[in-house]
A and B are shown apart, each in its own frame.
Chain A
């Protein structure tokens, strides 16, 4: 199968993630959409690794997974703190700071 198809899939996943970040209001869902975008980038890296016949792209994928895991730790800590103080994880409710 043509490897370019995986690039289309990756672009599609990235777009779904980006749209999700913009339209969804729950911080957890927004965060999941961001993870989807990171995974789309990972898929692109692995596909390019295959196309270019070079292993570095796969190494990047592993680094991304580790970094994404760290991001989950920090992100969930922040979201859980917000939820405990406000009883809501909606990004619309967080609007104390004036525009």
Chain B
């Protein structure tokens, strides 16, 4: 048997390699640097790595290659756009993660034990969240550029495993946080087993693990269609779980509520970009010619997801759970972009993902600020009158909610408009109708929160708004500026996306 030496194009892979290198360094820093210097060292290395990776992504933006790593990854326009979105979202999420107040001083200690108290008092805060974040981000960068089933599966686990752990790191309400980690882990592992089983049947159908091979088999309709159907549906279960579509959404309200809020922000925004990136690639390239087999399934899931998410969100009394159901509804809106299956759908999805991700991080950043003596206050009843006490914070939150609702002059409007018109062009009218109706339902509960904040009298129960740290303010301001800029003047970004957004096959 003859072995060929693998040829790797290090320039094109450099964003991922930089992050993995930074992640390894942060692991060493965790072990060897003194406790006083550790947080600032970790933060600088993490941010440095992310920014460097973003610069590299920008530099390779016009490259196209199918052979960057022996055909295992594809670098093309959408890949670059997804990677850049993930990195920008991660950078502003790391601004929130930098506030160590949210994270347990010692994750291995029992909640409420002496050991934990000592760790808090001595200021011996562990900072393992930084390496975990970097590993998760490198998995997210790999996920949307994978072009074979092996890489796709490895990237899926690479992004998921650190997130399972990060969900359990909250300082307050630690039992709930650990519980959310357990739920996320068990359901995530369950769905990745489905994913892998589906991958096995796609391999059985096409005799190839590469997306190009699967595509050729679909075009030539060479194999057994039963294998193809089992493969597509089981693989979709894994992907739909990651994006939180009904009926695979059960984890998301609990995990959003239980995780430390900065982690929720990161997970909600960045995971969605990565998972939809991978989903768009595999549906637009490999499965495009088997459209008959998956469009009906995805249409039903999209409609159920948006209607269910919007309706259940109305009943929520907890702001993090409300945002979780809102993210479920948004997963439904984003699925219309997959169903559209045309260039406009791809462009709209990329724009929507970026706009939604940035607004999500901004929204959760505001949630971290509303606190009482025991930590964050997430009960919506206690947010009453927030607009009278802290007009700026309440106005920013209202801005993000309006963007989620898709009100004109915010990025959410441009996103929703373009994704629905792309789906309409491709003839998926039922999804568009359901989408517009559920947007209207969703607008109701976003606006209800705004009314609650501005037009009800404040309750005196010790809820106060923290003075944001410099990094948190930076994150909120950046998110706000992007949300409004993309709503008022979206043309440069839309042009950039339409120049780049073409999958190479």
Contact = CB atoms under 8 A, between A and B. Distances in A.
Interface in B154-198: 154, 157, 161, 164-165, 168, 173-176, 178-183, 185-186, 189-190, 193-194, 196-197
Interface residues of B, number: 44
B176 A40 contact: no
A57 to B, nearest CB: 6
Interface in B239-255: 253-254
Nearest to A93: B179
B258 interface: yes
25 contacts: A18-B193, A27-B182, A31-B189, A37-B197, A38-B196, A40-B197, A41-B199, A41-B200, A44-B204, A49-B203, A54-B207, A60-B149, A60-B150, A60-B203, A60-B209, A67-B153, A67-B154, A70-B157, A74-B164, A77-B165, A78-B168, A78-B178, A78-B182, A84-B110, A97-B176
B150 A79 contact: no
Say what secondary structure dominates the interface of chain A: helix
Contacts of A14: 193, 197
Contacts of A49: 203
Given A51-B204, A82-B178, A37 B193 contact: yes
Contact of B209 (A41, A56, A75, A82): A56
Chain A interface extent, by class: 35 or more
Nearest to B112: A85
B185 A78 contact: yes
A48 B179 contact: no
Nearest to B204: A48
A64 B149 CA distance: 11
B48 interface: no
Interface in B128-162: 149-150, 153-154, 157, 161
A34 B193 contact: yes
B483 to A, nearest CB: 29
B257 interface: yes
Interface centre among A7, A10, A14, A74 (most CB of B within 10 A): A74
A59 B189 contact: no
Contacts of B258: 96-97
Nearest to A59: B150
Contact of A85 (B157, B174, B197): B174
Contacts of A17: 193
A45 B165 contact: no
Contact of B254 (A70, A86, A97): A97
A31 to B, nearest CB: 7
Nearest to B164: A74
Given A30-B186, A63-B153, A67-B157, A52 B207 contact: yes
